[in-house]
Amino acid sequence: MNDTAVFARTALGIALILDIVGVYVLVTTWNDYCDKPLRWYVVGSVFLSSPVTAVCGFLPWSSKSYLVVETVCTVAYGVLVVMGTTLTNTTLFCQNTAPVLWWWCFVNNAIAWSIIMGYLSLTVLLTVLTAVIANKQKPSTLAT
């Protein structure tokens, strides 16, 4: 089994665990009143987690369908995270009446934003390092 298949199976396993927790949160907080539609955020997270991980994990990376699925799902997940952040941060009522639901959404958002900021920081760092390394190698020294 190659490294890509191992990574895909591990990612799918983690996504399935998070989906099980999300469904558990939905079931246990179904009768709790919340003034914001946080349950839709949980449903969106469940539907964008395991199914997308399964599809993207097992499609060939060089295929056009992989690129299309990955792009559409990344945009959808970005919209979902912004929606979840807005809903979670604009209600204090749900924090008191449906604490499990609110905390699941809060932690899920915190993890999502941490991953997004990590990716952005790494991208900026690698871009700067590449520019510095490329600047040190002058074209005239490469020819000799």
* pLDDT tens per residue across all 144 residues of the chain: 676 677 777 877 888 888 888 899 989 988 888 888 889 888 988 888 777 777 777 777 677 877 888 788 888 888 999 999 999 999 888 888 889 999 999 998 998 899 889 989 999 999 999 888 887 766 655 555
> Strand, helix or coil at 62?
coil
Q: Is residue 144 assigned to a domain?
A: no
pLDDT at position 121 is 94
**Which tokens sit at 23?**
């469904």
Give me the number of domains the chain comprises. 1
Please name which of 118, 93, 111 lies closest in space to residue 22, comparing C-alpha atoms: 111
Instruction: Report the candidate in 112, 8, 15, 20 with the shortest Cα–Cα distance to residue 66.
Output: 8
140 located within any domain: no
Asked whether the beta carbons of 36 and 87 are under 8 A apart, the reply is yes
Cα 38 from Cα 22, distance rounded (Å): 12
Q: Is residue 142 part of a domain?
A: no
Q: Do 15 and 49 form a contact (C-beta atoms < 8 A)?
A: yes
Quote the pLDDT of residue 142.
53
Token reading at 36: 């914001």
For residues 108 and 132, the answer to whether their CB atoms sit within 8 Å is: no
Residue 125: what pLDDT?
94
Residue 143 domain-assigned?
no
In a domain, 111, yes or no: yes
Is there a domain that residue 20 lies in? yes
Any domain includes 100? yes
Which structural domain, as residue segments, surrounds residue 48?
Answer: 3-133
In a domain, 75, yes or no: yes
